[in-house]
Amino acid sequence: MDDDSKKYPEGHFLAIGLALGIPFGLVFATTLDNPGFIALGIPFGLALGLALEAKYKKEGKIRPLTQEELKARKVWVIAGIVLLFLGIFVLWLFQ
């Protein structure tokens, strides 16, 4: 096995933090019966992801993204933006 198999790509822990933070915000908002608290999950997730990313970067376990990963990331970002605008359009239609 090469040394890169034990390393994580840049942004790995940031994505995990957001994936955990967003449901946390939903649970928090539902528990308090206030939809304004949904947005609290994003900063919590970002803080968690950035802390983990810094920890692993200091240990040397973070590697730069490969060309294939960069291309895949661009495709996912474009797909997310398209889905966002599609969702806004659908909500606008049903007003």
Name the domain count of the chain: 2
For all residues of the chain together, what is the average pLDDT? Answer: 90
Mean pLDDT of the region 55-72: 94
Per 3-state DSSP, the chain is made up of helix, strand and coil in percentages (nearest 5) of 80, 5, 15
Q: Which tops the pLDDT comparison, 6 or 40?
A: 40
The beta-strand segments (E) located in the chain are 8-9, 62-63
| pLDDT at 6 (0 to 100) | 81
Q: In this structure, are 48 and 11 located in the same domain?
A: yes
Sign of CA dihedral 63, 64, 65, 66: negative
Q: In this structure, are 47 and 22 located in the same domain?
A: yes
| pLDDT at 1 (0 to 100) | 47
Q: In this structure, are 44 and 70 located in the same domain?
A: no
Q: In this structure, are 74 and 47 located in the same domain?
A: no
- Domain residue limits at 1: 1-64
- Percent of the chain whose pLDDT exceeds 70: 95
